[in-house]
Chain A
Amino acid sequence: MKIVGIALLALMLPALLGCATPDTLLAQRLVAYNAERYKDAPATGTLEDGVRTIRIKASQFYFEPETIVVNRGERVRIVVEAVDVPHGFEIEGLMIPGYDIETVIRPGFPLTLEFDAMETGVWDFICAIYCGFGHSTMKGTFVVR
């Protein structure tokens, strides 16, 4: 039992010593840096009736704006307009209740999504509908900070 206790203590020692190894320290700082890199960036879009509203134009092969920053806890409305050919919209890894990621956004028929940004983090958003050669480069960054 004593041996197990000593072994456990040995495993926990770096943590008890304040995460002392250089690799761990750099890793901690990198994680914190990447989590906070958008801390001072201005929020994207405008507040309309208390809802952060962001209008995105989707064209072959980019989104404009490419980076969206919202604040945690905000109600977010994203309006995606296809400018040239049909496009799609998916925030990878972020479930938006009631939204089918296979929805085709045709020019002239914008898509409106509304949800609460409850979780801080950084996600990629992508075009989820094949839109021509260059489709795979069509992505942006969605940040909740």
Chain B
Amino acid sequence: MPAESRCLGAVILLLLLPSAAAHSNILYDVSLDFDPALKELVTAVAQEHFGLVEEPVRFDYERELLIVQFDRKVELSANVDPSDFSLAGFRDDSRVSERGTPRLSQAERRAVAERVFETLPEPMRREMTYGGERELYTGTFQHLWYRAVDGVLVANEHLEVEVNGITGEVIAWKRLPFFAAQENIRTSPAISGAVARKVAELTFNAAPVQFTPFLLLNRDRPVWVVKVKALYPIYVWVDALDGRIVATGDLRATVPEQYAVGPDIPVQETDSIRNIREGKA
């Protein structure tokens, strides 16, 4: 078959591929009736934290955490990790100031957030890196600590703390669980970011955009995050070990603005990729 025909065939094949769908990480109003003990214990942790005796109005779910919601005009909820029934955060939006000027300096706000960070188990803290502060709304600042292995950010395994810069109170914090042990995580990509971007462009028949691919860890595997413009610009997660499209849509991870890890990490080609590159697979 002539090379041009092979290329055309590949392009037609790509056009037939469906787009991977983005899926929300949050399930709202989940039922825990299948496990009364679980429901009772999770509720107890939340009640104890807030010093309440009332029953929650509903439970939500986000990445293995159960979010226990109480009936308030603004959100009052506790995040409970059902693996060990530990408190993994809370949100009390009654602590948000409606107006005012932040009186805490950035260092002071960070110090408030650090106090939450210090409550995490030491092995967890050891793997986390401070990811900076960003302003959210009316004097609220979010501080991030993300898990990193060999400097590569593990997606959605982080701590975020929201501090009221006016009152100095913690409005909310959330600690997402770690899934894979550090030693079971592969961090080196088997393909380059440039190849990953090309995979996304070809798959979605998309145009390139000005964006430097970066590397994340999706549980125990590296993924390239690239950005392309199909109908509109989308992020695409490309598995850095086999080139599969893992996810599309929004970024799907909390990543510090200055994060740019990946391009400098050497590609360690696997036998499988080598075979594909040489046309043997």
Binding site for B on A (CB under 8 A): 15, 18-19, 23-36, 85-86, 92-94, 104, 119-123, 126, 128-136
Q: Are A34 and B4 touching (Cβ within 8 A)?
A: no
Complex interface: chain A residues within 8 A of B27 (CB): 128-130
From B23, B34, B59, give the contact of A131 (CB < 8 A).
Answer: B34
Shortest CB-to-CB span from A76 to chain B, Å, is 15
Interface residues on B, range: 35 or more
Q: Are A26 and B191 touching (Cβ within 8 A)?
A: yes
Stretch of B8-16, B88-96, B121-129 at the chain-chain interface: B8-16
Bound Cα distance from A126 to B277, whole angstroms: 32
From B7, B14, B201, give the contact of A15 (CB < 8 A).
Answer: B7
Complex interface: chain B residues within 8 A of A31 (CB): 10, 13-14, 17, 199, 202-203, 243
Q: Are B198 and A24 touching (Cβ within 8 A)?
A: yes
**Is B51 an interface residue, CB under 8 A from the partner?**
no
Complex interface: chain B residues within 8 A of A135 (CB): 61, 64
Q: Are B82 and A132 touching (Cβ within 8 A)?
A: yes
In chain B, what residue has the closest Cβ to A20?
B3
Between A and B, 14 residue pairs with Cβ closer than 8 Å are A23-B198, A26-B191, A28-B10, A29-B276, A30-B243, A31-B202, A35-B17, A86-B31, A93-B21, A104-B31, A123-B18, A130-B66, A133-B64, A136-B64
Q: Known A-B contacts: A27-B201, A31-B199, A86-B34. Give 17 more (CB < 8 A).
A: A15-B7, A19-B7, A23-B198, A26-B273, A26-B277, A27-B199, A27-B243, A29-B279, A34-B245, A35-B14, A35-B17, A92-B23, A122-B244, A123-B18, A130-B31, A131-B34, A135-B64
Shortest CB-to-CB span from A73 to chain B, Å, is 13
From B7, B35, B66, B196, give the contact of A28 (CB < 8 A).
Answer: B7
Q: Are A33 and B38 touching (Cβ within 8 A)?
A: no
Shortest CB-to-CB span from B14 to chain A, Å, is 5
